[in-house]
């Protein structure tokens, strides 16, 4: 297993529940989610920057 620090941008959603779901779906693409946080929001572009820590198999990490 390898641990990775991931940064992604997500479109803002209508509700907090939809936002959380969108974030978790995007981060699952990178491995097993350990933690995440919204670190900034661009109101003009309607996007949020999310930083996360995930774990993945060594073979998966090479393809990221």
| Domain boundaries defined on the chain | 2-63
For the stretch 15-63, pLDDT in tens is 999 999 999 999 999 999 999 999 999 999 999 999 999 999 865 544 4
Burial of residue 11, with CB atoms counted within 10 A of its CB: 0-12 exposed, 13-18 middle, 19 or more buried: exposed
- pTM attached to this predicted model: 0.83
């Amino acid at each position: 297993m390898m641990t990775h620090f991931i940064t992604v941008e997500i479109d803002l959603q209508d509700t907090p529940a939809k936002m959380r779901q969108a974030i978790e779906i995007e981060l699952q693409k990178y491995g097993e989610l350990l933690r995440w946080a919204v670190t900034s929001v661009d109101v003009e572009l309607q996007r949020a920057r999310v930083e996360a820590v995930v774990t993945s198999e060594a073979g998966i990490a090479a393809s990221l």
